[in-house]
Amino acid sequence: MGRLNELRLISRVAQMYHIEHKRQAEIAQHLRLSQATVSRMLKRAEAEDIVRTTVIPPAGTYIDLESALRERFNLPEAIVVDCSEDRDGAIMARIGEAAAHLMEVSLAQGEIIGVSSWSQTIFKMVENIHPLKSAQVKYVVQTLGGMGDPSVQTHATQLTTRLARLTGAEPKLLPVQGVTTSREAKLLMMSDPFVRDTIDLFGSITLAIVGIGAVEPSELLARSGNIFSARELADLSDAGAVGDISLRFFDQQGNLVKTPLDERVIGISLEDLSKVERVVALAGGREKTSAIAGALRTGVIDMLVTDKFTAERLIREGQSIIRPE
């Protein structure tokens, strides 16, 4: 009977705390117990299975898919958003909305944000961010060259400058091409002091927001002119590449695919990106599934924001390939 009496008192303490919402000090005074005893009893209530925690996710949230992604790809965090259609436009819109909310609630004082400049999904995120009052970001740094076809070049510049304005930051633009004609042209462009000033900030980025691309470039990137030739893209595929982050390519297992083409890209490398404290990838869509899976296996990404259709495909695909230790 002694144990039963003990459990009865523990149950009463748990009832007062969890159901009647009384503070521990109030419970201690009411039952003539010390506050340390009340604290110990609340811990015992969980250990004895008197108190059980149940999380009931609201409709439109997918904690099981998020858990499966974290487990399957050894991913620190994942956000899976609801989407009514498995269509790129709808997917980008929903991912952008979720990423905007994430930025609004998680940006810290003095943050230095690195942002990939040729991502329609990231642009959707920026469109949905409300001006922030509390977080004062220091810099928004463009991490891939933003010059290209004049008809779409404003996209890259607007993305960086608008995000800077919304977060109270100073924009740091990269006013050069993302893909140069030669290694020599790249070295010449990088000698410009304004370009050097931005690149020198890559090592100070605390939050990087990146897109994930398939080897076949997106419509926006293709229109910008910051792409390799069809022959060069075919060579990348032959070398095992399945996708890229800021025009740095990787294979299905997440290994970097290094070719001479890499020396023509002006932007952050995956090696530098891996040193950033928090890397958030925004990506979804049927055509990008293999690329996203490969990107997750690079070990560079800390959080993926994707849609439910893509998440389901990623989990199925992840089952067929052993994750690297």
Contact 283, 304 (CB under 8 A): yes
Contact 85, 49 (CB under 8 A): no
Q: Rounded to an integer, what distance in angstroms lies between the CA atom of residue 209 and that of residue 143?
A: 9
DSSP state of 178: S
pLDDT the model gives residue 322: 45
pLDDT the model gives residue 132: 87
pLDDT the model gives residue 136: 81
Contact 145, 178 (CB under 8 A): yes
Q: Rounded to an integer, what distance in angstroms lies between the CA atom of residue 157 and that of residue 175?
A: 9
Q: Are strands 207-211 and 278-282 parallel, antiparallel or unpaired?
A: parallel
Provide the residue-wise pLDDT of the chain in tens; the chain has 325 residues: 678 989 999 999 999 999 999 999 999 999 999 999 999 999 999 999 999 988 888 999 999 999 999 999 999 999 999 999 999 999 999 999 999 999 999 998 999 999 987 788 999 999 999 998 877 899 999 999 877 666 666 677 889 999 999 999 999 999 888 888 898 999 999 999 999 999 999 999 999 999 999 988 777 666 666 667 888 888 899 999 999 999 999 999 999 998 888 899 999 999 999 999 999 999 999 999 999 999 999 999 999 999 999 999 999 976 655 444 4
Reading the block at residue 61, the tokens are: 């949230």
Q: Rounded to an integer, what distance in angstroms lies between the CA atom of residue 78 and that of residue 67?
A: 8
Residue type, 185: A
Residue type, 177: Q
Q: Interhelix angle for 88-106 vs 120-128, to 10°?
A: 50
Q: Rounded to an integer, what distance in angstroms lies between the CA atom of residue 86 and that of residue 311?
A: 11
Residues 6+ apart with CB under 8 A from 58: none
pLDDT the model gives residue 175: 87
Rg (CA), the chain: 25
Exposed, middle or buried, 89 (CB in 10 Å: 0-12/13-18/19+)? exposed
Q: Rounded to an integer, what distance in angstroms lies between the CA atom of residue 128 and that of residue 122?
A: 10
Reading the block at residue 89, the tokens are: 């436009």
Q: Rounded to an integer, what distance in angstroms lies between the CA atom of residue 180 and that of residue 265?
A: 6
Q: Rounded to an integer, what distance in angstroms lies between the CA atom of residue 160 and that of residue 177?
A: 15
Residue with token string 């005893």:
37
